[in-house]
Amino acid sequence: MLTLAAVAIFPIAFVSYVVVRDEVGNVNHSIDFEVRSVALAGKAGFDRLIEQRQLHAVAVASSPALQTALGRHDRKSIARFARRNDVLLEVNGQLYGQSLAHAVRSRVQLVSQGRAIGSIIAQLPLDSATLGQLTLTNAQGVRLAFASLPAGAVHGVILPLAPHVGLRAYLPGQLASDRRNAAYRRVTEAGLLALLALMGLTFVVARPLLRAFRWTEEQASEARIDSLTGLANRRAAEEILAAEISRAHRFKHELAVVLLDLDRFKEINDSFGHAAGDTMLRAVSRLLTSLARQGDTVARWGGEEFVVVLPETDLPGAHRFAERLRRTIEAHPVGEMRTTASCGVATMLPEDDAEALLGAADQGLYRAKSNGRNRTESVVRSSPSKVA
**Integer CA distances (angstroms), 129 to 55, 56, 132, in order:** 20, 19, 5
**Pairing state between β 376-378 and 297-302:** unpaired
> What pLDDT shows up at residue 54?
83
pLDDT tens for 2-42 read: 555 555 566 666 666 666 677 767 777 777 788 888 888 88
State whether residue 354 is helix, strand or coil. Answer: helix
How do the pLDDT tens digits run along the chain, 388 residues long?
555 555 556 666 666 666 667 776 777 777 778 888 888 888 888 888 888 888 888 888 788 888 888 888 888 888 888 888 888 888 888 888 888 888 888 888 888 777 888 888 888 888 888 888 886 655 578 888 888 888 777 778 888 888 888 888 888 877 777 777 777 777 777 767 776 776 676 666 556 655 655 645 554 455 789 999 999 999 999 999 999 999 999 999 999 999 999 999 999 999 999 999 999 999 999 999 999 999 999 999 999 999 999 999 999 999 999 999 999 999 999 989 999 999 999 999 999 999 999 999 999 999 999 999 999 999 999 877 554 4
State whether residue 232 is helix, strand or coil. Answer: strand
pLDDT tens for 268-325 read: 999 999 999 999 999 999 999 999 999 999 999 999 999 999 999 999 999 999 999 9
Write the DSSP string, 90-124: EETTEEESPPPSSEEEEEEEEEETTEEEEEEEEEE
Please, which residues have CB within 8 angstroms of residue 141's CB and are 6 or more apart in sequence?
171, 172, 175
pTM metric for this prediction = 0.46
Q: How far apart are CA 75 and CA 80, in angstroms?
A: 8
User: For residue 135, how far is the Cα from the chain centroid?
Assistant: 41
Q: How far apart are CA 251 and CA 279, in angstroms?
A: 40
Domains assigned to the chain: 2-175 (3.30.450), 234-387 (3.30.70.270)
Taking a C-beta distance cutoff of 8 angstroms, is the pair 166, 149 a contact?
yes
Taking a C-beta distance cutoff of 8 angstroms, is the pair 53, 198 a contact?
no
Taking a C-beta distance cutoff of 8 angstroms, is the pair 52, 220 a contact?
no
> What pLDDT shows up at residue 262?
97
Per DSSP, 201 falls in state: H
> What pLDDT shows up at residue 2?
54
Question: For the chain, where are the alpha helices, taking DSSP H only?
Answer: 2-61, 64-72, 75-84, 128-134, 173-205, 207-222, 234-251, 265-272, 274-291, 315-331, 354-370, 384-387
Write the DSSP string, 116-181: EEEEEEEEEE-SHHHHHHH--TT-TT-EEEEEESS--S-SSEEEEEETTEEEEEE--HHHHHHHHH
Angle separating helix axes 274-291 and 315-331, nearest 10 degrees? 140
User: For residue 324, how far is the Cα from the chain centroid?
Assistant: 48
